[in-house]
């Protein structure tokens, strides 16, 4: 399974659960943690959990392991570790507070949603 197929699967799963402002950052050469960060948010605890659950389920259907999920019960900032791809699913208020996209502002943005719509 390629990183690109994982990115497509995750972005589609998040979009299917109406995640907002889905952003894919190319972290290659910037972070040692992962090659890609995906950042999105939901507007309620239930939606944040639904987005993370859908991502987990769709990635596992592709036979790709989910290394770990953190923050699921609190549903404020759920981290889904897929190895070279790390997904950050925020509650709207938490995303505005932490502003990860500004922290990693030098990372190029990948336009995965437009690839899916082609």
Domain extent, residue 28, equals 3-116
Output the domain CATH number for residue 58: 3.30.460.10
The pTM (predicted TM-score) of the whole model is 0.94
For residue 113, the model assigns a pLDDT of: 78
In total, how many domains does the chain have? Answer: 1
For residue 114, the model assigns a pLDDT of: 77
Closest CA to 15 of 61, 47, 60: 47
For residue 115, the model assigns a pLDDT of: 80
Per-residue pLDDT tens for 37-93?
999 999 999 999 999 999 999 999 999 999 999 999 999 999 999 999 999 999 999
Judge contact between 38 and 24, C-beta under 8 A: yes
């Amino acid at each position: 399974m390629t990183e690109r197929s994982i990115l497509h699967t995750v972005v589609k799963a998040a979009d299917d659960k109406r995640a907002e402002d889905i952003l894919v950052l190319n972290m290659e050469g910037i972070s040692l943690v992962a090659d890609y960060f995906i950042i999105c948010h939901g507007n309620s605890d239930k939606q944040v959990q639904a987005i993370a659950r859908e991502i987990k389920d769709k990635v596992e259907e592709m036979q790709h392991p989910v290394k770990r999920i953190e923050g699921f019960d609190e549903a404020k900032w759920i981290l889904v570790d897929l190895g070279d791809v790390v997904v950050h699913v925020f509650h709207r208020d938490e995303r505005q507070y932490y502003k990860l996209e500004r922290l990693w502002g030098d990372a190029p943005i990948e336009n995965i949603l437009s690839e899916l719509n082609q």
